Amino acid sequence: MVDEGLFEGVTELSFSAMFRERMRTMPAEIRERRFRNVGDPRRRDRFMSTYEHGVRSPFVVHGIAAYERAFKLLEETLAETGPWVLGDSPSLADINLMPFAARLDYLGLLDLWIGDRPRVRAWWALAQEWPHFKTGLRDLITEAEFAEMRQHGPKIAADVADIIAEVREQMAAASN
């Protein structure tokens, strides 16, 4: 589930929400130097596309679709296994998903995917209360980092919601 685009998706969503604006205000020569300093050409292409197109970059759209598939599968899985992915207690499967859900939550975007998925919402509530989530992830983030995510995430929420709706329509059409 995670390997199907969540790594790139979280990077692109975070970049489009937080860092794109910062890069737009920096002098062109500094911005171009930053792009040149990205060693991996594929990563540089992703960042440049996201810089130029924001959430409408194909890379961001792909990440949004990956999250949609993941949360759809998680809802279905929890219907059979719940409250955790493999049953009554957290497993590596849950631990693997938690940082990705957390980043979306901290950006104020998670409800766009899970608002209509009660099992995933319940899973996320359990995850946030799990002591190891608190000490292993949440407590490691500074209040300044939380504030920055809360400030920038909502700026892209409407566009992300539109893309999620488009992705859901495409998935429904493909299954018919």
Task: Return d(Cα 109, Cα 149) in angstroms, integer.
Answer: 10
CA-closest candidate to residue 93, choices 67, 123, 60, 128: 123
What is the tally of structural domains in the chain?
A: 1
**Predicted pLDDT of residue 1:** 60
Summarised one tens digit per residue, pLDDT across range 137-154 is: 999 999 999 999 999 999
pLDDT, averaged across the chain = 93
Is the pTM for the entire model greater than 0.75?
A: yes
Q: Which residue range is the domain that position 144 belongs to?
A: 2-175
Summarised one tens digit per residue, pLDDT across range 90-126 is: 999 999 999 999 999 999 999 999 999 999 999 999 9
